[in-house]
């Protein structure tokens, strides 16, 4: 969907009017942000995995809520970059570990943030939970459904918190759309959702090992290539379905209040025939109860549409675009009037920084950002620009849950529904069949 600046301006005012009098309006302005310090003092945290995404999370820890005591990674280059973040923030230097088992045994940490390759999620998270640690684990929950189930069972058995990192759940923009549009029934009956995540670039990362004789085989990676580009190999990854689609499937499940019951999918390695195993183009259709359908595409050959989710209802259409913008279209005689709200540029940067698009294809992210109309008088209508990014809210809420039992936004059950849908999507693609989820 492409709108003129005039349509954006009209839409923003109408959208905010629709939210007036609801808690959602406060969320846009950041008044629902977690305030520190957390009761009982900051939670003592250890990090397992400080690669690109792990460092995004590390940079998002509010010292009033979390005290980072230790960093663990099998790549010494990642530890060095993580230390630079700590130093820039003028925080105490955490201890370093290469073996996560050593860290959880030796360090007096209460909680662990896990951001390792997908295949290792289940084993590490279960061990941390069994050791009495609370866990915030990056998405997707696990490589397979059995791993998800093991994680959920360990959290229940040990009475520990397990949160899976879907930042949309903590985004003021998404919370506003859910509270002020979805829950109020402004879209009417929803029967169709369209989701895309489009990029134009190679998912492969370049660069050599941290030291010439570096050998990752002791951790299950036969070569540096397998460790550095683990997302491209089935042994460690579930490909685009896990790394991108699971974010949007999780949001769709939230907004629809349901999980899919069946899936069909297609795709393949169409552009980058460079030895990778996972597809560079995927397409899926998930069937939900009540005659509802969600379609999805993720491609690596064109970035024009970037990423969005569109919810088509009998009374209106809601478009969530690039994690920075929400648009509402009314059906009927008023259907020509588009309504919109945008978050501040600062928030947009924060959201993109935590996304695969920003890390893997910065030129596409920049182009997509340039295509969004610049709002006028938006801040006087919406709120101040200093709303914390969703990842910071996510970690602060996790710490508040550890300290005082505050609810987390995406626990094991919701995360398992998202993972199962995406795992079955890959299986449907491989089998060229419609599968139950």
User: Contact, 261 vs 289, CB < 8 A?
Assistant: yes
Q: Is there a domain that residue 215 lies in?
A: no
Q: Are residue 202 and residue 186 in the same domain, yes or no?
A: yes
3-state secondary structure of 159: coil
pLDDT higher than threshold 80 for residue 409: yes
Torsion angle of the four alpha carbons 282, 285, 286, 291, in this order, in degrees rounded to the nearest 10: 170
Q: Is there a domain that residue 400 lies in?
A: no
Least confident of 149-153, 279-283, 357-361: 357-361
Q: Are residue 235 and residue 132 in the same domain, yes or no?
A: no
pLDDT number for residue 331: 83
Q: Are residue 97 and residue 235 in the same domain, yes or no?
A: no
Q: Is there a domain that residue 274 lies in?
A: yes
Give the pLDDT confidence of 159-218 residue by residue, as tens digits: 999 999 999 999 998 999 999 999 999 999 999 999 999 999 999 999 999 999 999 999
User: Using CA atoms, how far apart are residues 382 and 377, in angstroms rounded to an integer?
Assistant: 9
Least confident of 16-25, 44-53, 138-147, 373-382: 373-382
Q: Are residue 266 and residue 414 in the same domain, yes or no?
A: yes
DSSP letters along 130-153, please?
HTT-EEEEESSS-SSHHHHHHHHH
Q: Are residue 324 and residue 284 in the same domain, yes or no?
A: yes
The range of the structural domain enclosing residue 110 comes to: 43-166
Domain count along the chain: 2
Which of 97, 131, 166 marks a domain boundary? 166
Give the pLDDT confidence of 259-270 residue by residue, as tens digits: 999 999 999 999
Q: Are residue 291 and residue 191 in the same domain, yes or no?
A: yes
Q: Are residue 116 and residue 178 in the same domain, yes or no?
A: no
Q: Are residue 288 and residue 417 in the same domain, yes or no?
A: yes
Q: Is there a domain that residue 216 lies in?
A: no
Q: Are residue 13 and residue 160 in the same domain, yes or no?
A: no
Q: Are residue 246 and residue 338 in the same domain, yes or no?
A: yes
Q: Output the six-digit token pair for 278.
A: 């996972």
Residue 290's CATH number: 3.30.360.10
Give the pLDDT confidence of 350-367 residue by residue, as tens digits: 332 333 333 334 333 333
Q: Are residue 175 and residue 124 in the same domain, yes or no?
A: no
Residue 66 sits at φ, ψ, to 5 deg, of -130, 140
Q: Are residue 133 and residue 266 in the same domain, yes or no?
A: no
Which of 149, 166, 183 marks a domain boundary? 166
Q: Is there a domain that residue 341 lies in?
A: yes
Confidence of residue 20 (pLDDT cuts 50, 70, 90): confident
């Amino acid at each position: 969907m492409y709108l003129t600046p005039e349509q954006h301006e009209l839409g923003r005012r109408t959208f905010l009017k629709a939210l007036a009098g609801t808690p959602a309006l406060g969320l846009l302005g950041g008044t629902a942000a977690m305030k520190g310090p957390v009761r009982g003092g900051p939670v003592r945290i250890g990090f397992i995995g400080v690669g690109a995404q792990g460092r995004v999370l590390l940079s998002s820890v509010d010292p009033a809520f979390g005290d980072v005591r230790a960093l663990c990674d099998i790549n010494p280059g990642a530890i060095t970059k993580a230390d630079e973040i700590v130093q820039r923030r003028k925080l105490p230097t955490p201890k370093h570990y290469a073996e996560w088992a050593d860290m959880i045994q030796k360090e007096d940490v209460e909680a662990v943030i896990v951001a390792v390759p997908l295949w290792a999620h289940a084993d590490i998270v279960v061990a941390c939970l069994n050791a009495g640690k609370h866990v915030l684990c990056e998405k997707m929950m696990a490589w397979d459904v059995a791993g998800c189930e093991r994680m959920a069972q360990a959290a229940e058995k040990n009475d520990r918190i397990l949160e899976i990192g879907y930042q949309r759940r903590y985004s003021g923009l998404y919370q506003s759309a859910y509270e002020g549009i979805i829950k109020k029934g402004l879209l009417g009956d929803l029967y169709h959702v369209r989701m895309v995540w489009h990029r134009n670039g190679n998912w492969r990362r370049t660069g050599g090992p941290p030291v010439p004789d570096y050998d990752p085989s002791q951790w299950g990676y036969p070569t540096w290539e397998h460790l550095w580009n683990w997302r491209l190999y089935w042994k460690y990854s579930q490909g685009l379905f896990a790394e991108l689609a699971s974010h949007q499937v999780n949001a769709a499940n939230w907004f629809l209040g349901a999980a899919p019951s069946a899936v069909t999918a297609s795709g393949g390695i169409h552009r980058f025939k460079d030895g990778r195993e996972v597809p560079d183009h995927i397409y899926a259709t998930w069937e939900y109860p009540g005659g509802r359908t969600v379609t999805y595409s993720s491609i690596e050959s064109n970035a024009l549409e970037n990423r969005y989710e569109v919810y088509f209802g009998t009374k209106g259409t809601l478009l969530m675009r690039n994690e920075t913008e929400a648009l509402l279209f009314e059906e009927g005689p008023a259907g020509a009037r588009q309504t919109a709200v945008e978050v501040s540029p600062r928030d947009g940067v924060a959201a993109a920084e935590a996304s695969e698009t920003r890390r893997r294809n910065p030129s596409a992210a920049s182009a997509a950002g340039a295509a969004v109309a610049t709002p006028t008088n938006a801040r006087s209508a919406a709120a101040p620009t200093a709303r914390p990014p969703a990842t910071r809210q996510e970690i602060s809420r996790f710490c508040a849950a550890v300290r005082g039992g505050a609810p987390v936004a995406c626990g094991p059950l919701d995360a398992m529904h998202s993972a199962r849908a995406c795992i079955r999507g890959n299986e449907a693609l491989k089998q060229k069949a419609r599968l139950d989820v």
